[in-house]
Each structure stands twice: as structure tokens, then as C-alpha cells.
Amino acid sequence: MNNSSLAFPLVRHIDSRVIAEGLTKREYIAAMLLQGILSNPEHHLGIHSAAQNAVLATDALIHALAELQE
């Protein structure tokens, strides 16, 4: 999986250009992981630690998925 590929691309055609916008798959996965971390009633991390853990878990997942494709 490419870290910069878009999860939900919004493609716009402006003149002769195509502009793709949206969250990257990495950003989308990190948001889902952060939501899960923060929804845990036993969550005792501060918001910054929770966000860092979500990013670390995201990168680990992306790495594991890339290894499966090799």
C-alpha cells in the first residue's frame, strides 16, 4: 500500500487539469485507530500520546501489509 494513495479521492477537472484531493490512506487509518483508542473506557493516555500511538500503529499496519504483498 502506498502511504500517499488516497482513501476517498475527490477528483475535480479544472480546465485541462485533474486535481485529486482527500485523505491519504495513512491519515484515514490513523483516524480510525485514534477513534478506537479514545473510545476505550480504560484509556488513560493523554490526547497527544493517544495520537502518537495511533500513528505508530498505522505505520506498523502499513508495513505489515506491504510485506504481505512481496
pLDDT in tens, 37-64: 999 988 788 999 999 999 999 999 999 9
| pLDDT computed for residue 2 by the predictor | 54
Rounded to an integer, the average pLDDT of 16-35 is: 87
Q: pLDDT value at position 13?
A: 77
| Helix, strand, coil percent content, the chain, rounded in steps of 5 | 55, 15, 30
Query: What pTM, to 2 d.p., does this model score?
Result: 0.73
User: How many whole angstroms separate alpha carbon 4 and alpha carbon 50?
Assistant: 22
The kind and range of the H/E element at 4 are none
